[in-house]
Amino acid sequence: MPYTDRFKATDDLLAHLTTVMPSITDSAIKANYAGFLSVSAVTVYELAIKDIFIDFSSKKHNSFGTFTGNHFGKINGRIKLNDLRNEHVKAFGDKYLNKFISYLDTKENSILSAGGESIKASYGNLITCRHQYVHQGSPTLTFPEIQRFFHLGKDVIECLDRAMKR
């Protein structure tokens, strides 16, 4: 399955919640929906990241794909940019790490120079929000921020996918 298929669940949830949120007046309910959305978004990021690494490894050798699948079965939400760079991508070698950093920096600079928001900060803020919501019950972002950051964070995953190609 292509890693992009993982986003469908959260895209569908977003489409539904976007129609419902304007009618909700209770701020606590809105915050819970935002927190729930952050959990969904980060979960699909994690699944997409696993898919990318497993696909890369399986193309090298079936046994390597199996090993990678088992290894990334224990990823447990460790998908911050530093985790991706310093732990996950780096394990496949400097060639892939340098490509990932290059693609990420190029995409970041392109979006920022066009007046957009930082994909790196958006991705990181969404992961932080999810963590805050799961462990303390209060999201750090609003629904519109999570919605924006989810879409911006997809660019980080796309850069990873591009980097993990021969």
**64-87 confidence digits (pLDDT tens):** 667 676 667 767 678 999 999 999
pLDDT, average across residues 111-133: 97
120 pLDDT higher than 80: yes
Q: How many angstroms separate the CA atoms of 64 and 76, rounded?
A: 20
Residue 154 token pair: 């997809």
Spatial contact of 87 and 78, defined as CB atoms under 8 Å apart:
yes
Q: How many domains, the chain? A: 1
Tokens 């390597």 found at? 64
57 pLDDT higher than 90: no
Q: What is the pLDDT of residue 65?
A: 61
Range of the domain at 127: 3-163
Spatial contact of 66 and 56, defined as CB atoms under 8 Å apart:
no
Q: What is the pLDDT of residue 94?
A: 95
Residue 134 token pair: 């799961």
Cα–Cα distances (Å) from 112 to 86, 106, 108, 159, in that order, read 24, 10, 6, 16
Residue 132 token pair: 């805050």
Query: Which runs of consecutive H residues, i.e. helices, occur in 2-61?
Result: 8-20, 27-60
Residue 144, φ and ψ in degrees, nearest 5 = -60, -35
Q: Centre a 10 Å sphere on the Cβ of residue 52 and count the other Cβ atoms it contains.
A: 24
DSSP 74: T
62 pLDDT higher than 90: no
Q: What is the pLDDT of residue 64?
A: 67
Q: What is the pLDDT of residue 97?
A: 97
Question: At 98, which amino acid appears?
Answer: N
DSSP 42: H
43-57, 68-82, 113-127, range with the lowest pLDDT: 68-82
Q: What is the pLDDT of residue 166?
A: 78
Mean pLDDT score across all residues of the chain: 92
* Closest of 58, 108, 61, 57 to residue 81, by C-alpha: 108
Spatial contact of 57 and 64, defined as CB atoms under 8 Å apart:
yes
pLDDT, average across residues 148-165: 97
Q: Which of 46-55, 87-96, 116-125 has the highest mean pLDDT?
A: 116-125
30-39, 51-60, 104-113, range with the lowest pLDDT: 51-60
